[in-house]
Structure 1
């Protein structure tokens, strides 16, 4: 299992570190102009009160065909814009929304995310919207 992720403040990095520690999955921080070979899941953040981060957008423009699902961190203080980058990515690239978590997530969030990726969408092909439970 590969998790591709983008982080700015470190919240997504902390979330990913916990997931990797528990599961042993591979995590790759996305970079500008990155082209991937292996399929995986995307975890990103929401910026500027509801925008997709520029590096995440560029990554998806290049690699969306290899991404099974999207998850996002956010801040509930943003109200309806909480984790909305995942909603936008899901809609723009027709990729299921797996999960939204606040800041770096709680341990319950970590285990719920693992359960969703492992049991509800592991090795599934795109096109299914059954992950839209966030």
Structure 2
């Protein structure tokens, strides 16, 4: 079973996650204080302050990076080069492969691409290649 760990401030990531779990039946866990991390999985976060990693995401990764197979981030293309930059920073800082980036709450194409990446690149058992970024 695939586990998704997500951080959402405005609801965009949460909407993305809910669409993914409706299609797949995967387990989703919102990052919050006291979150139990029962299984390894994939991180989905958002980019804040024009290119920063959210505080809860940092705290989560400080404690659980060894259980994270990939990182995905939402963002806004209006931010130009800072679009989804949180994913790049998490990937670099915690040595976790970047799966993809999507805008706001994602399109159905984004959702299907994410599902495909997780199903075919990771096989639920180990980290994929650092060169995974196909977004």
- For the superposition of Structure 1 and Structure 2, which TM-score range results when normalised by the shorter chain? over 0.9
Where does 1:1-134 land on structure 2 (aligned, <5 Å)?
1-126=2-127, 128-134=129-135
TM-score in terms of structure 1 length:
0.95
Shift in alpha-carbon separation, 1:112–1:127, aligned structure 2, 3 A: closer
How far did 1:124 drift? 4.2
Show structure 1 runs of 5+ residues with no match: none
Shift in alpha-carbon separation, 1:75–1:94, aligned structure 2, 3 A: same
**Cα RMSD after superposing both structures:** 1.2
How far did 1:96 drift? 0.3
CA distance in 1, matches of 2:128, 2:27: 24
Q: Secondary structure at the match of 1:4?
A: strand
CA contact (8 A) 1:7 1:44 kept: yes
> What per-residue deviation string (whole Å, max 9, x for no partner) do you get for residues 73-101 of structure 1?
00000000000000000000100000100
Show structure 2 runs of 5+ residues with no match: none
> What per-residue deviation string (whole Å, max 9, x for no partner) do you get for residues 83-125 of structure 1?
0000000000100000100000000000000000011122242
CA distance in 2, matches of 1:79, 1:9: 20
How far did 1:33 drift? 4.9
TM-score in terms of structure 2 length:
0.95
